[in-house]
């Protein structure tokens, strides 16, 4: 039973990766592989992050879907700038406290925060962004869950704003009809085919029961499977490395548009 569940979870993880292949490259910011080899030549930053992620993964498999969903929710709202990790204050309700983000598992946040702390304990202090850490951690959970490892582009800065209101209208809702979904994804340069793949991404993670109860209880013994599910979808697991790279380029902050946070959960 456990083996079947693990295989099922892996298929869902890879499904998310496939869906990201279809995401458009919307920025021109210059990211590059092995970025920190120049910034911090005395510290293997990617190995430090990988070690933290591996430890977290060994503690709970939830680390995989939690980190993947955190990356998607971060990039899809204001770009890949770790703004979803910012904690709310008495004067500001942050992205993470928007209703659409309440189902993001804490293990994803914890992974990034612990990786940041590990890096800050080295000579590379104040040089690695939380946004880059999340991108590296996402790559690592894919590899640890049975998927391939890949070179991740780095050089992002952390965002300077995070508001719950910025999430409004940026993430697909479970009760959207086809026209609403088409319109939302088209506004981001995505086709209906892209939409179908990306809409399935959340199956790897968690959501509140209220988001899906109307679907769960509508099935019978004669019709036990969601009739809207394409049975060939799971077979379309290919070229996801390119897709992950494209997603990681969305809305990247550079120059005065961002900085490197000392604390991933708070602005400097």
Q: Sorting pLDDT into bands at 50, 70 and 90, what band is 41?
A: very high
> Beta strands of 80-212 (E only): which ranges?
158-159
Confidence grade of residue 76 (pLDDT, cut at 50, 70, 90): confident
Query: Confidence band (pLDDT; 50, 70, 90) for 20?
Result: very low
Q: 74 among the known binding-site residues?
A: yes
Is residue 202 marked as binding?
yes
Residues annotated as catalytic (active site), given as ranges: 73
For residue 226, the model assigns a pLDDT of 53
Segment 148-181, tens digit of pLDDT: 678 999 999 999 999 999 999 888 778 888 898 7
* Overall pTM > 0.85: no
Beta bridge partners of 89: 92
163 annotated to bind ligand: no
Cβ–Cβ < 8 Å for 12, 229: no
Lowest-pLDDT range of 67-71, 151-155, 197-201, 262-266: 197-201
pLDDT in tens, 24-34: 444 445 899 99
Whether pLDDT at 194 is above 90: no
Place of tokens 């990766």: 17
Query: Is 80 exceeded by the pLDDT of residue 218?
Result: no
118-121: long-range pairs with CB below 8 Å, 24+? 118/48, 118/49, 118/51, 118/52, 119/43, 119/45, 119/48, 119/49, 120/262
pLDDT beyond 80 at 245: no
Question: CA dist 69 to 26, 84, 94, 173, Å?
Answer: 20, 11, 17, 15
C-alpha of 61 from chain center: 16
Which domains does the chain possess?
A: 2-259 (1.10.520.10)
Percentage, residues of the chain above pLDDT 90 = 50
């Amino acid at each position: 039973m456990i083996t079947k569940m693990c295989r099922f979870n892996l298929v869902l993880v890879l499904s998310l990766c496939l869906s990201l292949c279809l995401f458009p490259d919307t920025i021109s910011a210059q990211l590059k592989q092995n970025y920190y080899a120049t910034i911090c030549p005395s510290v293997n930053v990617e190995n430090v992050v990988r070690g933290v992620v591996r430890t977290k993964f060994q503690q709970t498999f939830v680390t995989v879907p939690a980190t993947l969903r955190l990356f998607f929710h971060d990039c899809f709202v204001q770009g890949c700038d770790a703004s979803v990790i910012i904690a709310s204050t008495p004067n500001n309700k942050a992205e993470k406290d928007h209703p659409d983000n309440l189902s993001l598992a804490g293990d994803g946040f914890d992974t990034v925060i612990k990786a940041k702390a590990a890096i800050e304990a080295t000579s590379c202090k104040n040089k690695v962004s939380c946004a880059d850490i999340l991108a590296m951690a996402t790559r690592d959970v894919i590899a640890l869950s049975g998927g391939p490892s890949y070179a991740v582009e780095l050089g992002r800065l952390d965002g300077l704003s995070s508001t719950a209101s910025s999430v409004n209208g940026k993430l697909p809702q479970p009760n959207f009809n086809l026209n609403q979904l088409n319109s939302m994804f088209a506004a981001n340069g995505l086709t209906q085919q892209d939409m179908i793949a990306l809409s399935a991404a959340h199956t790897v993670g968690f959501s509140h029961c209220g988001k899906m109860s109307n679907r769960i209880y509508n099935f019978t013994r004669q019709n036990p499977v969601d009739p809207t599910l394409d049975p060939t979808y799971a077979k379309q697991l290919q070229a996801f490395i390119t897709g992950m790279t494209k997603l990681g380029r969305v809305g990247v902050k550079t120059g005065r548009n961002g900085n490197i946070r000392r604390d991933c959960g708070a602005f400097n």
